Amino acid sequence: MIQNGRGCILLVEDDPNDVLLIQRAFRNAKIINPIHTVGDGDAAVAYLAGTGDYADRAEHPLPVMLLLDLKLPRRSGHEVLAWLRQQPGIKRMPVVILTSSKETLDINRAYDLGANSYLVKPVAFDDLMHLVRTLDLYWCLYNERPDLNHGKGASAPPP
Amino acid sequence: MRAMPGLAARIYVLILVALLPAMALALYTGVEQRRWAARDAQTDAMRVVDLMADQEERLIAGARQLLEQLAAEPAVQRHTDAGCDEYLAGLLPELPSYLNFGVLRVPDGFITCSALPMDRPVYSPDRLWFREAVRTKDFAVGEYQIGRITKRSSVNFGYPIFGPGGQVAAVVFSAFDISWFLDATRAAQLPPGSTLTVFDHQGVVLARHPEDAALVGQEVDEAPLSQAVVGSTEGATAEATGLDGVRRLYAYRPLRHAGGGAPVYVAVGIPASIAYAQANRILVRNLLLLALVGVAAGVLAWLGGHLFIVRQVQQLVGAARRLAAGDLDARTGLPHTRGELGALAASFDDMARAVQTREAETRAAQAALATLNAELEQRVADRTHALEEVNAELDRFAYTVSHDLRAPLRAMHGFSQALVEDYGDRLEPTAREYATRVAQAAQRMDTLIQDLLAYSRVCRAEVEVAPLSLAGAVDEARTQVAADLAARQAEVRIHPALPMAVGHRAMLVQVVANLLTNGAKFVAPGVTPCLEIGAEVRNGAVRLWVQDNGIGIAREHQERIFAPFERLHSVEQFTGTGMGLAIVRRAVERMGGRVGVESEVGRGSRFWCELPTGEGG
């Protein structure tokens, strides 16, 4: 059923409990896509840009989908999203917001900045498992992936 | 300045009107004086005429005396020889007022003797004085006539010379020079240009003073004067144009001497220009004086009017204009005297002062108001700022609650569940139940937080109302809570053709959803929830209601249930946080409506909310 084993998912989440629970939910849902995790906004930007600790793309490959929390240390999820949408090539990456906030302000801002989906973390674990299964099914299986490298060199803004 | 010429003109008109009686009086006096002058002139003329009449009397008396003496003179009695001529001729130089003396033979009237030489024989039997002297044998007065010998105007007198038999043998005559007679009138000192004219009964000019040979002997009866004069029986006066074309004042009367016969008429004319000269002079002088007075009065009026009226009025007008232009310091600058203008100036100044005071008060009030407004605005701004800070604080609080408070709950729930799932076979049943209770408590806590946040959102969110379809909102709410309703096997019946209302769609959806879950939840055990949704328009509002077949609410609790965290039952009986109806009430109130419930215990409840229809107000 899972056909895209190579595509990894980048989870940006600072709460280790949530990381554990989400990983368990993925595991229980039998999703084989590898999950890479970073704990703050700066790390997320570094990973996506392939700089610093994340320069090695073999070890830290570009994800097919970004699971982004909003309340993050150093750089908020909104800021990471705004930065990403400015980057050549990778700006096409599907971004799903996974957060605990149900505030209209947060939701609207996320969509304004170009989020592809907005999900609220459920409290019940069963719900979480159900959610990640659907998520993977939709974004990693059915959804056509964009080419994140095309136009990267040509349209890259001068550093 | 526009009004000023009008004012001055009125003053001048008033002066003219005031001068009119004086002018009329002057004119009347002038006319009267002319009349007096005419009367005086005519009186003078009449005096001359009267004088002439007197002189005629004396003349006749003198003539009679003279002729009586001549008739007694022997040379005259022998009137046929040359001695008579010589004698008579010798008399002429002594009696300059006589033109001639002579003797006529009776009965043929042949002149036998004459003081003046005759170049031919002359017969004058037709003369009145001759015929009368023969007939009466006494002194006779002839007519005024043009002498046949002298060729001059004269009046002749005759006296009989008796023959030896006592018969009238001849008539001695004397021809009195009328012009000399007229010369006597010089003594009357008539003004220059005056005339004295003697007409006979046929209007023929017998004599005229001053001498005018051209006129003497002419018939001038076509002249208006002669027509008036000839035929009059007594003295009269007239103003007429004389024979020489000069207008004169005439006095005339017939001279009817003792000798009888046709009368002659004497007219004395004084030139009107001279007679009226004095009166005219006075009239002109008076008029000139009057004009002078008028001009003086005008100048005085101009000066006085300018000084006492126009200047004041100008100052008043100027002050009024300045005041109108907004110069509130404008005053007339006039003394507040007793007169009307003074009173007007005083009134104006009072008014201007009042206006200025009022204006100052208004300004002060406005300034105070502005200050007050500014303070108020500042306070409102401060308060708003404070409120905004509180709101922002609340927002941050809600954000924190939403994010941070729920994270541990998820962990509690997730890990307790993981414990049961992953290690459940190694746990005792009691331990497993405890883990399950932890998960349930975390779940309930999360619901509570969610509801709290929802209530907070409803309280804080900006509400913009707009017309919306109740049917659409109800439909969406029903879809939203479909899972819950299905779990409770609730039946929902929605009335068709729900009306339009004014509200906030998302809020209204939440209201209906809460009412639906509320109605489906509170039913007696074993009863299938049966819900009915309807709406009606009453008193300009749309009342949307949800009828249930639940347990009902006692009257004393019907108000309480809308308060936050109010619950009538234990969690074991009916799950819930007690926030659902609080959210409903707050949301409806934010949309400008109101909520309520009609219920009886055991007979179900009807929750309703009213929203404006958006029509007519």
Residues B303-316 have pLDDT tens digits of 887 777 777 788 88
Residues of A in contact with B457 (CB under 8 A): 103-104
Q: How far apart are CA B496 and CA B182, in angstroms?
A: 148
A72 to chain B nearest CA, in Å? 11
Residue B509: C-alpha distances to residues A16, A71, B60, B468, B505 (Å): 37, 29, 159, 11, 6
Predicted pLDDT of residue B511: 92
Contacts of B443 in chain A (CB under 8 A): 123-124
By the 8 A CB rule, do B511 and B584 touch?
A: yes
Predicted local confidence at residue B183, as pLDDT: 65
Q: How far apart are CA B324 and CA B345, in angstroms?
A: 16
Q: Collapse the DSSP code of B110 into the 3-class scheme (helix H, G, I; strand E, B; otherwise coil) and give the result.
A: strand
User: Quick one: residue B231, left, alpha or beta (phi over 0 = left, psi -120 to 50 = alpha)?
Assistant: left
- What percent of chain B is modeled with pLDDT above 70? 89
Tell me the shortest Cα–Cα distance from B455 to chain A, in angstroms: 12
Query: Phi and psi of A13, rounded to 5°?
Result: -155, 130
Closest partner residue to B398 (CB to CB) among A15, A103, A128 is A103
Q: Is pLDDT of B261 > 80?
A: no
How, if at all, do strands B153-162 and B168-177 pair? Answer: antiparallel
Q: Is the pLDDT of residue A108 over 90?
A: yes
Q: Determine the straight-line distance between the first and last CA of chain A, rounded to whole angstroms.
A: 42
Chain B interface includes A33 (CB < 8 A): no
Between B395, B407, B442, which is nearest A15 by CB? B407
Which of chain A's residues have a Cβ under 8 Å away from the Cβ of B507?
Answer: none
CB contact under 8 A, A125 and B407: no
Closest Cα of chain A to B420: distance in Å? 12
- What backbone torsions phi and psi does residue B191 show, to the nearest 5 degrees? -65, 155
Long-range contacts of B309-314 (CB under 8 A, 24+ apart): B309/B7, B309/B11, B309/B341, B310/B4, B310/B7, B310/B8, B312/B341, B312/B345, B313/B3, B313/B4, B313/B7, B313/B341, B314/B1, B314/B4
pLDDT > 80? residue B228: no
CB-nearest to B442 from A17, A123, A126 is A123
Strands B264-271 and B247-255 turn out to be: antiparallel
Give B-chain residues touching A110 at CB under 8 angstroms. Answer: none
Task: Tell me whether residues B453 and A18 touch, CB distance under 8 A.
Answer: no
Instruction: Give yes or no for residue B236 having a pLDDT over 80.
Output: no
Candidates B402, B446, B507: best to mutate against A (most CBs of A within 10 A) is B402
Give the number of residues written for chain B. Answer: 617
The answer, yes or no, to whether residue B298 has pLDDT greater than 70, is yes
* Joined tokens for residue B320: 């009024």
Q: State the pLDDT confidence band at A43, using cuts at 50, 70 and 90.
A: very high
pLDDT score recorded for residue B304: 80
CB contact under 8 A, B417 and A71: no
**Arithmetic mean of pLDDT, A91-104:** 89
- Neighbouring CB atoms inside 10 A of B414's CB total 27
How many CB pairs lie under 8 A apart between chains A and B?
A: 65
Nearest to A103 among B402, B408, B411 (CB): B402
User: What per-residue confidence (pLDDT) applies to B134?
Assistant: 85
Sheet containing strand B111-114, strands side by side? B111-114, B98-105, B168-177, B153-162, B140-146
Report the range out of B25-39, B493-507, B560-574 with the highest average pLDDT: B493-507
| Mean pLDDT value of segment B327-337 | 81
Lowest mean pLDDT among A51-60, B171-180, B480-489, B599-608: B171-180
- Using CB atoms, pick whichever of A18, A21, A123 lies closest to residue B446: A123
For residue A124, give the nearest of B407, B413, B450 by CB distance. Answer: B413
Look up tokens 């006129």; give the residue. Answer: B215
Instruction: Give A-chain residues touching B411 at CB under 8 angstroms.
Output: 15, 17-18, 21
Contact B588, B511 (CB under 8 A): yes
**B411 reaches A (C-beta below 8 A):** yes
The reply to whether residue A100 touches residue B443, judged by beta carbons under 8 angstroms, is no
Average pLDDT score, chain A: 85
Nearest to A125 among B407, B414, B446 (CB): B414
- Residue A1, amino acid: M
For chain A, the maximum distance between any two Cα atoms, rounded to a whole number of angstroms, is: 47
Provide, for chain A, the percentages of residues in helix, strand and coil under a 3-state DSSP scheme, each rounded to the nearest 5.
Answer: 40, 15, 45
Contact B56, B176 (CB under 8 A): no
Distance CA B266, CA B251 (A): 8
Q: What is the distance between the alpha carbons of residues B435 and B278, in angstroms, rounded to a whole number?
A: 155
Helix (H) or strand (E) holding B236: strand B236-241
CB atoms within 10 A of CB B304: 13
Whether ipTM tops 0.90, in short, is no
Nearest CA in chain A to B408: A17
Q: How far apart are the first and last CA of chain B?
A: 59
**Nearest one of B346, B347, B348 to B335, comparing CA atoms:** B346
Specify the pLDDT at position B223. Answer: 55
- The encoded tokens of residue B349 equal 């100044």
Judged by CB atoms closer than 8 Å, whether chains meet at B407 and A104 is answered as no
CB atoms < 10 A from the CB of B138, how many? 12
Say if the Cβ atoms of B403 and A99 lie within 8 Å.
yes
**CB-CB under 8 Å, A100 with B407:** yes
CB contact under 8 A, B406 and A124: no
Distance CA B540, CA B543 (A): 10
Query: Cβ contact (<8 Å) for B402 and A102?
Result: yes
Give CA–CA dist B59/B471, Å, rounded.
Answer: 155
B403/A126 touch (CB, cutoff 8 Å), yes or no: no
Confidence of residue B184 (pLDDT cuts 50, 70, 90): low
